Structure 1
Amino acid sequence: MKKQVIIHALHTAEDNSPIKSMKQVSGGSINESYYVETAEERYFIKYHTNPPARFFEIETSGLELIRQTDTISVPDVYAYSDEKNNAFLVMEWVEGNRKLDTEEKLGSRISAMHQHTGEKHGYEEDTFIGTLPQPNGLFTNWVEYYRDQRLTAQLNQGINQERITGIRRQRLEDLLDKLDKFVPANPEPSYLHGDFWGGNWLVGENGAPYIIDPSFLYGDRHFELAFTELFGGYSEDFYHAYNEKYAMADYYDDVKPLYQLYYLLVHLNIFGESYGSRVDAVLRKFT
């Protein structure tokens, strides 16, 4: 069945040539991922049996917005479908060798992307973090967006799953009430990848960095940078190159735990209590 879907995906991408090679590869826990080589091209194909509505469409839109900045490479998208039992995303296969300056290029190019801005914070459409929905909308005030659309959404998810209860719930609700004391209201609404952990960038030809799997939004660029430090995967070369092009604001270290809190809540709601102690440590610090 999966091979039939892949053949259909290739036909949708206007490649009707014979398949020379096909193998399953690592590509996250959400989708099944395949390397496919035809007589014409090499592809990375994601397959999902039952994705949320517009799942691959939203990912494709995010990649295109990043591409339009002309700052950092993203894979070409050849075709996608969000049809139930037939959902796929056909992309360029990216493969190369890391060079000594690859992470320097990554930092420099991410800083260039962050210098592209929207008019408001958030995004016009709802998106996903993993398969969790991210309610969006456009806001003139970053604190309101971050509190109401990001943190509150994860609070409600955690309440529903009984992962945010008792003192944890009380502290999080207290923090939301006074979030404007800690988070800036009007930073530049930068173009953000939105899910920029260390597994969401690749190395292409000549050591060129590519970014993948965006969960796009406009927002405080330090929100993105805070996530890069949460689970690692970035060297000092990355941060040095970033700062040379677009220095981090003085408030970054103060706000970093609050920006990391969102991603910790996401991981708590997806993976469970193994992330609970880190959530609680942030809440204790600010309440």
Structure 2
Amino acid sequence: MRPEVQAALENALGQRVKSASPMRGGDVSDAFDVRLAGGDRAFVKTRADLPALAFEREAEGLLWLAEASAVRIPRVLAFSKTEPGFLALEHIEAAAPSTAAEERLGRELAALHRFGAPRFGLSTSNFLATLPQENGERADWASFYRMRRLDPLLERARARGLVSRGLSSRFERLYERLPDLVGPAEAPARLHGDLWGGNWLADRAGVPYLIDPAVYAGHREIDLAMMRLFGGFGRRVFAAYEEAYPLSPGASERVELYQLYPLLAHAVMFGSGYIGQIESALSAYV
């Protein structure tokens, strides 16, 4: 851990850091298992080239999810509003998730989505991994999905030279059909926003936790579509969710539509290797 981060952490927590051991699994940030002089333990994440605002927004997102009292969220211990950026959370001793933990995750994710929010979007912007995520609120989901999700990332991908004229044309045709494709109208769901398999864990008692969110209010199927994109969720998660909060008709036909956002994000972050998947997803609609 960088000395300036340790000093800021000690100041925020009011305790001396006894040790800070690097942890595996930090895909975006550097992660540490921190032991404090008072006997407490914390999980701390930081990254030198990520602004402190990213950690502040993540802390706010965790608190926003916790408001629903649905799925367990790690307790926020401290975060920085000025450089150096860091976020300190309660330490969760993770264990291999059982079938019961997966079923509980499905039910509790359904409860989180049901808790909802007043409008599509969020009052503040935040970050999807390292990418700025604009959440300006909209009254309808189709326009939000186009203007706040697909369009900004398509422009970033275009600036990186990843979008051909043909691919751009296909997105324009998709936009024409979008109001008819997004599914039956639903109230805004309270979303995790970056729900791949690495962003949940179960503790030793089998209690599931959500971590590393990119929150906003949106269509609940976008969380579920991302869960199917990269794996990490057993069949019982989806079955328990469906039992608790049945999906609208045609949901299986919208999976690829809602995978376009994370696929575009991965293309912007990691390059052209994801363009083929984007084109394949589009083929279901245009």
Q: Judging changes above 3 Å, is the alpha-carbon distance between structure 1 residues 239 and 260 closer, same or farther for their aligned structure 2 residues?
A: same
Q: Secondary structure of 1:11's match?
A: helix
1:56 aligns with 2:52: no
Q: Judging changes above 3 Å, is the alpha-carbon distance between structure 1 residues 136 and 53 closer, same or farther for their aligned structure 2 residues?
A: farther
The CA deviation string for residues 115-152 of structure 1, in whole angstroms up to 9 with x for no partner, is 10112111111121111111111111000100111001
Q: Report what 2:26 is aligned to.
A: 28
Query: Structure 2 counterpart of 1:244, which letter?
Result: E
Q: Report what 1:169 is aligned to.
A: 168
Please tell me whether the aligned partners of residues 78 and 92 of structure 1 are also in contact (alpha carbons under 8 angstroms): yes
Q: Report what 2:36 is aligned to.
A: 38
State the Cα distance separating 1:223 from its structure 2 match. 1.1
Please tell me whether the aligned partners of residues 189 and 217 of structure 2 are also in contact (alpha carbons under 8 angstroms): yes
User: Mapping of 1:71-82 within 5 angstroms?
Assistant: 71-82=70-81
Structure 2 Cα separation of the partners of residues 130 and 242 of structure 1: 26
User: Mapping of 1:132-171 within 5 angstroms?
Assistant: 132-171=131-170
Q: Judging changes above 3 Å, is the alpha-carbon distance between structure 1 residues 185 and 236 closer, same or farther for their aligned structure 2 residues?
A: closer
Q: Report what 1:198 is aligned to.
A: 197
Query: Structure 1 counterpart of 2:74, which letter?
Result: P
Q: Give me the TM-score of the superposition, normalised by structure 2.
A: 0.94
Q: Secondary structure of 1:286's match?
A: coil
Q: Report what 1:120 is aligned to.
A: 119
State the Cα distance separating 1:27 from its structure 2 match. 3.6
For the aligned residues, what is the CA RMSD? 1.6
Please tell me whether the aligned partners of residues 54 and 82 of structure 1 are also in contact (alpha carbons under 8 angstroms): yes
Q: Report what 2:253 is aligned to.
A: 254
State the Cα distance separating 1:225 from its structure 2 match. 0.6
Structure 1 Cα separation of the partners of residues 135 and 46 of structure 2: 26
Q: Secondary structure of 2:121's match?
A: strand
Please point out which of 87, 92, 103 is paired with 1:94.
92
| Stretch of structure 1 that moved more, 99-108 or 22-31 | 22-31
State the Cα distance separating 1:30 from its structure 2 match. 2.1
Identity of aligned residues (%): 32
The CA deviation string for residues 41-71 of structure 1, in whole angstroms up to 9 with x for no partner, is 1111111213236211110111001111111
| Stretch of structure 1 that moved more, 178-187 or 256-265 | 178-187
Query: Structure 2 counterpart of 1:111, which letter?
Result: A
Unpaired runs of at least 5, structure 1: none
Q: Secondary structure of 2:205's match?
A: helix
Please tell me whether the aligned partners of residues 184 and 248 of structure 2 are also in contact (alpha carbons under 8 angstroms): no
State the Cα distance separating 1:26 from its structure 2 match. 2.1
| Stretch of structure 1 that moved more, 258-267 or 26-35 | 26-35
Structure 2 Cα separation of the partners of residues 234 and 29 of structure 1: 18
Q: Secondary structure of 1:55's match?
A: helix
State the Cα distance separating 1:4 from its structure 2 match. 4.2
State the Cα distance separating 1:75 from its structure 2 match. 0.9
The CA deviation string for residues 146-182 of structure 1, in whole angstroms up to 9 with x for no partner, is 0111001111111111111221122112212321121
The CA deviation string for residues 241-270 of structure 1, in whole angstroms up to 9 with x for no partner, is 111111111121111111001111111111
Structure 2 Cα separation of the partners of residues 13 and 27 of structure 1: 24
Please tell me whether the aligned partners of residues 52 and 80 of structure 2 are also in contact (alpha carbons under 8 angstroms): no
1:271 aligns with 2:267: no
Q: Report what 2:225 is aligned to.
A: 226
Query: Structure 2 counterpart of 1:47, which letter?
Result: T
Q: Report what 1:15 is aligned to.
A: 15
Structure 2 Cα separation of the partners of residues 53 and 3 of structure 1: 16
Please tell me whether the aligned partners of residues 56 and 88 of structure 1 are also in contact (alpha carbons under 8 angstroms): yes
Q: Secondary structure of 1:123's match?
A: coil
Structure 2 Cα separation of the partners of residues 127 and 105 of structure 1: 28
The CA deviation string for residues 172-217 of structure 1, in whole angstroms up to 9 with x for no partner, is 1221232112113732101000001000011124111111011111
Equivalenced residue count is 284
Q: Give me the TM-score of the superposition, normalised by structure 1.
A: 0.94
Query: Structure 2 counterpart of 1:35, which letter?
Result: D
Please tell me whether the aligned partners of residues 103 and 237 of structure 2 are also in contact (alpha carbons under 8 angstroms): yes
Q: Report what 2:5 is aligned to.
A: 5
Please tell me whether the aligned partners of residues 142 and 185 of structure 1 are also in contact (alpha carbons under 8 angstroms): no
